[in-house]
Amino acid sequence: MKLKLLTAVLGLSIAGLAVNAASAQTLQTVKDRDNLRCGVNTGLPGFASQDDQGGWQGLDVDYCKAVAAAVFGDASKVQYSPLSAVQRFPALQNNEIDMLARNTTWTMDRDTTLGLTFAGVNYYDGQGFMVKSDLNVNSALELSGATVCVQSGTTTELNLADYFRTNNMDYNPVVIESQSDVNSAYDSGRCDVLTTDASGLAASRLEMGNADEHVILPEIISKEPLGPAVRQGDTEWFNVVKWVHYALLNAEELGVTQANVEEMLESENPEIRRLLGQDSNFGESIGVSQDWVVNVIKAVGNYGEIFERNIGVNTPLQIQRGQNALWTKGGLQYGMPIR
Ligand SMILES: N[C@@H](CCC(=O)N[C@@H](CS)C(=O)NCC(=O)O)C(=O)O
């Protein structure tokens, strides 16, 4: 009996090792293929969208570029896969992409059962509501009986149910798979309310026929920590994506920018020297070159620069740093030390 149990346990752990060995190849696979496959949004201005020439841009897109810059020294070696909310997790699970950078909320279920591992939070968000101004609604608590447009396969759909239940309000959900269909359903009057992450509302509002005819209500009903994710069981690759994120934050903390990174190579500050691989080689510990951070910052700038360029107050989205400010400025963004 005991022997049987031992064999069963051993068998299981050997099977487990085999699975890990099979999936723990991403960095080598990416290097051999000579490009990074990055799953992004189908089109969310500020986070991932295509310009007229078909080039991708946005905060999430810059995370794909940053990882490519760290691995290859070349941010252009990315193949983008636009994915709907429903498509994104199977794409990662089935090895169609190497990483997912698609306004995806880090939840326990996704981080455990779904087989993903989140490498960090590149945008602290929360869910909100948008309504037509002529409805004369000032608070989400006035929405009882409303028809609400929401996208399937999202945390949005689940939080919506929680919020109305908690506040003893009724609603009629209109659940649609594609966000552009959600937006047009709302814009054409099929729904009274549109709900999604606050960042997504700001983007959707700009896409409406007349942005001034819509108001975003003050309530934020959930925590939506958005961040890049990789497959579970590949610590080596997880470390690459995670430390690229922390390098972007450390660069901002230390004032290393796209414009001054070359000059900063001469800096006497030991933290800057470590970050830029001047006296020590932290790149080696994650399987990339010694100057990985120099390549990353040259390609996309530091976290603050990525934020301001894509979604900041001088962009159409006009988003304040808020919770996404550095911890030294009252926000939540905190780069783990490189040492
Ligand atoms: N953060 C939420 C929502 C993410 C999400 O898919 N949001 C929608 C609304 S902004 C979106 O990006 N849709 C674009 C698409 O499906 O292509 C989640 O991870 O479930």
Report the DSSP beta bridge partners of residue 87.
Answer: none
The DSSP annotation for 168-221 comes to T--EEEEEESSHHHHHHHHHTTS-SEEEEEHHHHHHHHHHSS-GGGEEE-S---
Predicted local confidence at residue 11, as pLDDT: 40
Q: Is 179 in the pocket of ligand 1 (CB under 6 A)?
A: yes
Q: Hey, what are 183's tokens?
A: 């937006």
- Residue 273 Cα to ligand 1 midpoint, Å, equals 39
> Within a domain: residue 25?
no
Q: Is 42 in the pocket of ligand 1 (CB under 6 A)?
A: yes
Predicted local confidence at residue 16, as pLDDT: 41
Predicted local confidence at residue 23, as pLDDT: 57
Does 93 have pLDDT greater than 80?
A: yes
DSSP 79: E
Q: What's the number of CA atoms in the CB half-sphere (13 Å) around residue 235?
A: 3
> Within a domain: residue 10?
no
SS3 of 327, please?
helix
Report the DSSP beta bridge partners of residue 172.
Answer: 147
Q: Is 197 in the pocket of ligand 1 (CB under 6 A)?
A: yes
Predicted local confidence at residue 323, as pLDDT: 97
Residues 107 and 235 in one domain: yes
> Within a domain: residue 184?
yes
Residues 213 and 280 in one domain: no
d(CA 267, CA 271): 9
Q: Within a 10 A sphere around the Cβ of 222, how many other Cβ atoms?
A: 18
Predicted local confidence at residue 2, as pLDDT: 45
Predicted local confidence at residue 7, as pLDDT: 41
Residues 194 and 243 in one domain: no
Pairing between β-strand 56-57 and β-strand 193-197 as defined by DSSP bridges? unpaired
Residues 268 and 244 in one domain: yes
d(CA 78, CA 98): 10
Does 264 have pLDDT greater than 50?
A: yes
- What mean pLDDT comes out for the span 11-29? 59
SS3 of 149, please?
strand
Minimal-distance CA residue to ligand 1 atom 11: 179
- What mean pLDDT comes out for the span 86-98? 97
Q: Is 173 in the pocket of ligand 1 (CB under 6 A)?
A: no
Predicted local confidence at residue 13, as pLDDT: 41
Last residue of some domain: 205, 223, 241? 223
Last residue of some domain: 223, 258, 285? 223
Predicted local confidence at residue 209, as pLDDT: 80
Residues 190 and 314 in one domain: no
119 membership: H or E segment, kind and range: none
Does 172 have pLDDT greater than 90?
A: yes
> Within a domain: residue 134?
yes
Domain carrying residue 261: 30-122+227-322
Residues 194 and 270 in one domain: no
Mean pLDDT computed over every residue of the chain: 93
> Within a domain: residue 159?
yes
In which band, very low, low, confident or very high, does the pLDDT at 18 lie, cut at 50, 70 and 90? Answer: very low
- What mean pLDDT comes out for the span 314-338? 97
Predicted local confidence at residue 17, as pLDDT: 43
CA-closest candidate to residue 61, choices 30, 82, 40, 44: 40
Residues 113 and 170 in one domain: no
Does 274 have pLDDT greater than 60?
A: yes
Question: In CATH, what number is assigned to the domain containing residue 107?
Answer: 3.40.190.10
Number of domains in the chain: 2
d(CA 259, CA 339): 24
Predicted local confidence at residue 4, as pLDDT: 46
Does 83 have pLDDT greater than 50?
A: yes
Q: Is 258 in the pocket of ligand 1 (CB under 6 A)?
A: no
Residues 95 and 41 in one domain: yes
- What mean pLDDT comes out for the span 18-36? 80
The DSSP annotation for 5-62 comes to HHHHHHHHHHHHHHHHHHHTTHHHHHHHHTSEEEEEESSBTTTBEE-TTS-EESHHHH
Does 24 have pLDDT greater than 80?
A: no
In which band, very low, low, confident or very high, does the pLDDT at 210 lie, cut at 50, 70 and 90? Answer: confident
Does 94 have pLDDT greater than 50?
A: yes
Residues 51 and 96 in one domain: yes
Residues 201 and 247 in one domain: no
Does 6 have pLDDT greater than 80?
A: no
